[in-house]
Amino acid sequence: MKKIVTLFGLLALLLSCSGNPQEPAASVSFDSVLATRRSVRSYDATKSVSEAQVREILAAAQEAPSWANQQPSKYYVAVSPEKVRALQELIGPRNKENVAGAPVLIVSTFERGKSGFFRDTPSNEIGDGWGAYDNGLSNAYFILKARAMGFDTLIMGFRESEPIRTLFGIPENEEVMAVIALGYRAGEPNQPQHRKLDEIARFF
């Protein structure tokens, strides 16, 4: 138990707030990050996110574990208004409306044939599913670090992968997974209901 508490303490330190000019720097607990993170669908268009802040979030995402430390995740960051508008056209009408005020949109991909493989041979039946798994872990670190810094996010699975690939020059060996909005919430989102723990976990 002591080791688990120490691990959470280290993760809380990793997620501590820093470098946000619109809010005072403050320490934030891991439990607070979990409790306040939401999938936000309304963004304050008057507030911006700097490239330096995005880089800080991405550096935290790099701390995520991956199969044999293959680090298959890649990120393509739209920060210019032109690229943001172009990407908004490729995520569907509803998503476009939801993230209209978000100043940053990020495409998340993973390199195929790395995680879950040994000498180009799948290590088990999951195959490239491990690349998607690792990408999900990286994205989780991303959104938690973003929330610790006072930002909000929305991970979107509806996207037009081939036009996005062309827009950012994404290589063919990378799988386009999600588009992530990054910005500040315009209002307080509702808290979703979660399934009971005993519905998702069994102890033996």
199 occurs within a structural domain? no
180 occurs within a structural domain? yes
pLDDT of residue 15: 43
Q: Domain of 15: which CATH number?
A: 3.40.109.10
Q: What is the mean pLDDT of residues 46-52?
A: 98
Q: How many domains does the chain have?
A: 1
78 vs 168: CA distance, rounded Å: 9
Going by the DSSP 8-state scheme, the letter that residue 15 receives in this structure is: T
120 occurs within a structural domain? yes
> Is 71 a residue whose pLDDT tops 50?
yes
More confident residue, 187 or 11: 187
Distance of CA 37 to the CA centre of its chain: 12
- Which residues form the domain of 125? 2-188
- Residue 26: pLDDT band by 50, 70, 90 thresholds? low
202 occurs within a structural domain? no
pLDDT digits (tens, 9 = 90+) for 60-70: 999 999 999 99
Task: Return the sign of the alpha-carbon dihedral for residues 57, 60, 65, 67.
Answer: positive
> Is 18 a residue whose pLDDT tops 60?
no
pLDDT of residue 14: 47
Q: What is the mean pLDDT of residues 100-104?
A: 98
114 vs 127: CA distance, rounded Å: 9
65 occurs within a structural domain? yes
> Is 195 a residue whose pLDDT tops 80?
yes
pLDDT of residue 56: 98
Q: What is the mean pLDDT of residues 143-165?
A: 98
139 vs 80: CA distance, rounded Å: 22
194 occurs within a structural domain? no
pLDDT of residue 2: 40
Task: Tell me the residue type at 111.
Answer: E
Q: DSSP per residue over 52-93, as a string?
A: HHHHHHHHHHTTS--GGG---EEEEEE-SHHHHHHHHTTS-H
54 occurs within a structural domain? yes
